[in-house]
Homo-oligomer: A and B are copies of this chain.
């Protein structure tokens, strides 16, 4: 069994209001020296009967078709 660990973030050019709210909350709580916060999704998918190579192709297709909104988000993933 292989596990895909997918990180999805708003693209750098896209506003991230959720990230800004988290940043402001942290600053209100007294945390200093924060330059930027980006908030996105983290998805773990367990796949059976698949090699790492097959999983890599499959997960890339999953990201493009469903998991990420490619207009405003970018994704990276590891297969373990």
Contact = CB atoms under 8 A, between A and B. Distances in A.
Interface residues of A, number: 35
A37 B29 contact: no
Contacts of A43: 19, 22, 37-40
A28 to B, nearest CB: 10
Nearest to A35: B46
Nearest to A59: B31
A11 to B, nearest CB: 13
Contacts of A7: 5, 7, 42
Interface of A: 1, 5, 7-9, 19, 22, 25-26, 29, 31, 33-50, 58, 61-62, 65-67
